[in-house]
């Protein structure tokens, strides 16, 4: 259970408050206008953004004063999720242990993770030799190896085309369901939220609203969300 207890973040004249609880294995989308603080909220959970006040708890243990690596959290950013000068196998290996030397058993785990995301046998390649979709898959494979119970996605698939993005979302759905991973995803696209996340939170006007059902929220949007989504296309 991930709990954001009266969380408040102040950056200059920007403030964001959040107060909600997410059960283990639930999948939550953060939706809302640019600059509303979606990424800031993820950064706070991952440990890159100190809280002004409030607490973040995982299974009733406070997280918010722990360093990023000690949190039960893995995160994928919009880009720069792989080190360009390392091979895929080395990049993935960093998810197991922060070193570049790995035992034969660990090597097998790396190969298995690559296979799981459809990149079997590509461990010796470098990120530059891969397509955008393959890079996303490799980053997801590393998340698998990290075995953290919470996964944060900060629009890592935003640069992919619609079909490829849908593929990636389905892959995320499979992987997180298999491992009972709790997911929080930032997105601009309501259809992405609908595809992957049963729960949805509107982040707008300095406030992260409590999670509600994604379909209901998007079908009957409150005023702030309606302003962001615009009028729906005629059927």
Partner 1 sequence: MPTVRSLPEWPGWVAGLFLAVFLTLPMAAVLWHAGGGSAPQPADWAALRFTVLQALISAGVSVALAIPVARALSRRQFRGRALLLGLMGAPFILPVIVAILGLIAVFGRAGWLNQILATLSLPQLQIYGLHGVVLAHVFFNLPLATRMILQGWQAVPAERFRLAASLGMGRSMVFRIIEWPMLRGVAPGAFAVIFAICLSSFAVALVLGGGPRATTLELAIYQAFRFDFDLGRAAMLAGIQLALVALATALALRFGGVVHGLAGGQGRPPLRPEAAQPLLRLWDGALIGLVAAFLLAPLIAVVLRGAPALLALPWPVWKAALVSLSVALAATGLCMGLACALAITALRRTGLELLAIGGLALSPLVVGTGVFLLVNPWANPTALALPVTVVVNAVMALPFALRLILPRLRQIEASQGRLADSLGLQGVARLRWLLWPQLKPALGFAAGLAAALSMGDLGVIALFSDPQHATLPLQVLRLIGAYRTEAAAGAGLLLLMCSFGLFWLFDRGGRHAAA
Binding site for partner 1 (CB under 8 A): 43, 46-49, 67-71, 73-75, 77-81, 83, 85-86, 94-95, 98-100, 146
Q: Would you say 43 or 119 has its CB closer to partner 1?
A: 43
Rounded Cα distance between 42 and 56, Å, is 12
Contact predicate 116/144, CB 8 Å:
yes
Longest dimension (CA), the chain: 58
Residue with Cβ nearer partner 1 (97 or 226): 97
Is residue 43 within a helix (H) or strand (E), and if so which, with residue range?
helix 38-46
| For partner 1, the closer CB: 155 or 207 | 155
**Cα–Cα distance for residue pair 172/196, rounded to 1 Å:** 8
Q: How far is the CB of 11 from partner 1 (least distance, A)?
A: 11
In whole angstroms, how close is the CB of 190 to partner 1 at the nearest point?
Answer: 26
What is the rounded CA–CA span in Å between residue 107 and residue 54? Answer: 41
Closest contact distance (angstroms) between CB of 160 and partner 1 is 17
| CA angle (128, 130, 132) in 5-degree steps | 100
Shortest Å, Cβ 2 to partner 1: 16
Q: Which is nearer to partner 1, 86 or 159 (CB)?
A: 86
């Amino acid at each position: 259970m991930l709990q954001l207890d009266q969380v408040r973040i102040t950056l200059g004249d920007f403030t964001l408050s959040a107060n909600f609880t997410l059960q283990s294995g639930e999948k939550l989308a953060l939706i809302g206008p640019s600059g509303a603080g979606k990424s800031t909220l993820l950064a706070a959970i991952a440990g890159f953004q100190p809280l002004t006040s409030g607490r973040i708890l995982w299974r009733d243990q406070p997280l918010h004063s722990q360093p990023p690596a000690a949190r039960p959290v893995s995160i994928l950013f919009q880009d720069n999720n792989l080190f360009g000068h390392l091979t895929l196998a080395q990049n993935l290996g960093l998810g197991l242990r922060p070193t570049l030397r790995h035992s034969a058993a660990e090597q097998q785990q790396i190969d298995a993770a690559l296979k799981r995301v459809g990149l079997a046998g590509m461990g010796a390649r470098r990120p530059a030799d891969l397509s955008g979709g393959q890079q996303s898959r490799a980053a997801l494979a590393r998340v698998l190896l990290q075995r953290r119970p919470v996964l944060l996605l900060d629009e890592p698939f935003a640069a992919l085309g619609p079909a490829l993005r849908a593929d990636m979302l389905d892959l995320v759905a499979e992987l997180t369901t298999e491992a009972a991973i709790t997911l929080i995803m930032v997105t601009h696209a309501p259809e992405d939220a609908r595809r992957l996340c049963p729960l949805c939170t509107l982040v707008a006007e300095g406030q992260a609203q409590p999670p509600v059902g994604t379909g209901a929220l998007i079908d009957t949007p409150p005023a702030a969300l309606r302003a962001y989504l615009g009028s729906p296309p005629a059927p």
